[in-house]
Amino acid sequence: MKILVAVASTYGATHELAGWIRDALAEAGHSVTLSPVEQVEGLADYDAVVLGSAVYIGRILTHARQFARRLESEFAPKPVWVFASGMKNVTASPLQDRYAQPQQPPYFGGQYPIFGGRVDPGQLGPAERALAGFMGSHGKDERDRDTIEAWARRVAVQADRASVA
């Protein structure tokens, strides 16, 4: 199956996480492309999409929400999986079956895993540093690569099932 991993990331941590997902899907035998959502062209070339976004102050990034609307109009009913990365409201058990299922539009309206994120204070402006400190996420990398890759392998199994159907 030809899968697009499309990601919205401000400082690169969520993009790096998406790279782990791309690699796990490729290891499972899929042809996978990783791209920032703003640069995606040719949706018709793909059989499935994994859409990811950083979460700031409880909100999915604007570019990801815009891309999700584009998927609704240009890609449905093909399968779409969704994930997010943030410092708060991290999903306690992201490997549950409900999180490895394709989402229905609106894509950020369903149940998807929120993985831990990373904050690099050196990349932040003064207001963002203050907010990160207030939220207790100053300088932490909360990404769990093993869990993220395990989730991607579960998605790969679901993608295999979707390609047979």
Contact 50, 23 (CB under 8 A): no
> What CATH number corresponds to the domain at position 54?
3.40.50.360
**Count of the separate structural domains present in the chain:** 1
Q: What integer pLDDT is reported at residue 58 of this predicted model?
A: 80
Give the amino acid at 106.
P
Q: What integer pLDDT is reported at residue 10 of this predicted model?
A: 87
Q: What integer pLDDT is reported at residue 117 of this predicted model?
A: 83
Strand partners, 2: 31
Instruction: Compute the distance between CA of residue 55 and CA of residue 91 in angstroms, rounded to an integer.
Output: 13
pTM of the model: 0.89
b/e per residue, 45-61, with b = 16+ CB within 10 A?
A: ebebbbbbbbbeeeebb
Q: What integer pLDDT is reported at residue 161 of this predicted model?
A: 87
Give the amino acid at 52.
G
**What's the average pLDDT block by block, 10 residues per block, for the chain (165 residues)?**
96 94 98 98 96 89 97 95 88 93 92 86 64 62 93 96 76
What token pair was written down for 145?
A: 């690569």
Q: Which domain holds residue 149?
A: 2-164
